[in-house]
Amino acid sequence: MDATSVREVNYGADEAAMQVYLKDGETRALKLGNRGPVHYTSSGKLHPDIIEAYWQYGFYIFEGVYCDKELEDIKTDLRDILERLPIAKGATLDAKGRQAIGANCEAPTLFWSKPLADPFGGTDLANGRHPVKMLEPTPATDAPKEIVYLILGSLQFSDACLRAYGHPDLLAIAEGINGPDFTPFSDAIFIKEPGRGASVAWHQDGVTHWDAPDWDDGSHGFNFMMQLYGCTPANGLWVVPGSHKMGRVDIKELVAKAGSERLPDAVPFVCGPGDLAITNRQCLHGSFANTSQDWRVTLNFGCHRRRSVLGVAGGGLHNAPTVYDETRIQKRSRIIGYAIDARRQRFPNEKSFQYAPFSENDNSYKWDEEAKASMKDYNLLDLSI
């Protein structure tokens, strides 16, 4: 997957302007000062310089979190996942005649798009939070009719992805930003295939807390984004720094003022393989269709503050609306326990993270075949706000 023979495609009449925009965006991004290796205080807490930069810009790039050995594990599982995709949208079998991934799931798993298209922009999908459609380049004539660009509930399909979720640095970052009683949100794999990957229109995440009297910069949590192959301005996420502080943004007005979807204040994620990015879900963000020759595969792990979900009626985007009580949060959080133990079994010499809610309640979770079977449709319990 590291090399591709996909025919070159581009933005046509907008290609020259797009290339200038990508280059200028990268220059701006690398000047911000919100990137580097994860580091801690002498007491083992996430360093306050990192926390300060995250809250200033709404995102941070942690460099070199995942080692080559782990990246190879994930690549192996990813190849298996791609081989097990349905032969077409709606099909239940893969190309080898096996039951396709997600075919027996009740919860939503696979999202399809035409190559280089924007399936959400300018539609009422996801509560209409993608109001402007991104420019859709023309795909190569030999491109497939539709591609899978997003897989939800991804941890049930890959032990390696589950172990990546249990990384002690990732969980320590979650604790440093959202407190020791942080909770999960949702998990996914974004696939930006070279010359085919779909765009994601400019949007802000979050549904429930925008008008709450206690709304603040972190009300809707953040997403981890582990980069398997790295990402570039051409295939990576773009974010408007500081927009997590602005409340709801009038996206249509911003695009109209800019004269195109190339928002002048946005910057791209520029990451190497194994880097771990976090972005505030309230930030204005999106990504362009991947006309480049580079793969971008991102493992997403969402994270909330417990006080943002406890006793709150869910937003209904990822599953049926309900009020999230302690039992619901505990059931969804068990995935953290499984991830920690799965990682301990693969990397026995690594110091495991201690998740405070489990330690306080003397709960233990063991990753075995029974636990693996229990993961089916775990994302029906996602904590969507």
- Beta strands 267-268 and 35-36, pairing class: unpaired
Where residue 369 falls among pLDDT bands split at 50, 70, 90?
very high
Asked whether residue 51 carries a pLDDT value surpassing 90, the answer given is yes
Asked whether residue 360 carries a pLDDT value surpassing 90, the answer given is no
Domain 12-381 in CATH 2.60.120.620: yes
- CB of 44 closer than 8 Å to CB of 179: no
Q: CA dist 223 to 15, 61, 82, 178, 258, Å?
A: 30, 12, 23, 12, 27
Q: What is the pLDDT of residue 361?
A: 67
Q: What is the pLDDT of residue 364?
A: 84
Asked whether residue 3 carries a pLDDT value surpassing 60, the answer given is no
Q: What is the tens place of the pLDDT at every residue in 77-105?
A: 999 999 999 999 999 999 999 999 999 99
Asked whether residue 282 carries a pLDDT value surpassing 70, the answer given is yes
Per-domain boundaries in the chain: 12-381
Q: What is the rounded average pLDDT of the residues 44-73?
A: 98
Q: What is the pLDDT of residue 101?
A: 96
Asked whether residue 128 carries a pLDDT value surpassing 80, the answer given is yes
Where residue 34 falls among pLDDT bands split at 50, 70, 90?
very high
Q: What is the pLDDT of residue 318?
A: 73
Where residue 357 falls among pLDDT bands split at 50, 70, 90?
very high
Average pLDDT, the chain: 95
CA 1 to chain centre: 20
Where residue 315 falls among pLDDT bands split at 50, 70, 90?
confident
Q: Computed from CA positions of residues 23, 130, 283, 75, in that sequence, does the dihedral angle turn out positive or negative?
A: negative
Asked whether residue 4 carries a pLDDT value surpassing 70, the answer given is no
Q: What is the rounded average pLDDT of the residues 263-290?
A: 98
Q: CA dist 286 to 132, 222, 279, 339, Å?
A: 11, 15, 12, 29
Residue from 239, 328, 318 nearest 277 by CA = 239
Q: What is the rounded average pLDDT of the residues 280-292?
A: 98
Q: What is the tens place of the pLDDT at every residue in 208-259?
A: 999 999 999 999 999 999 999 999 999 999 999 999 999 999 999 999 999 9
Prediction pTM value: 0.95
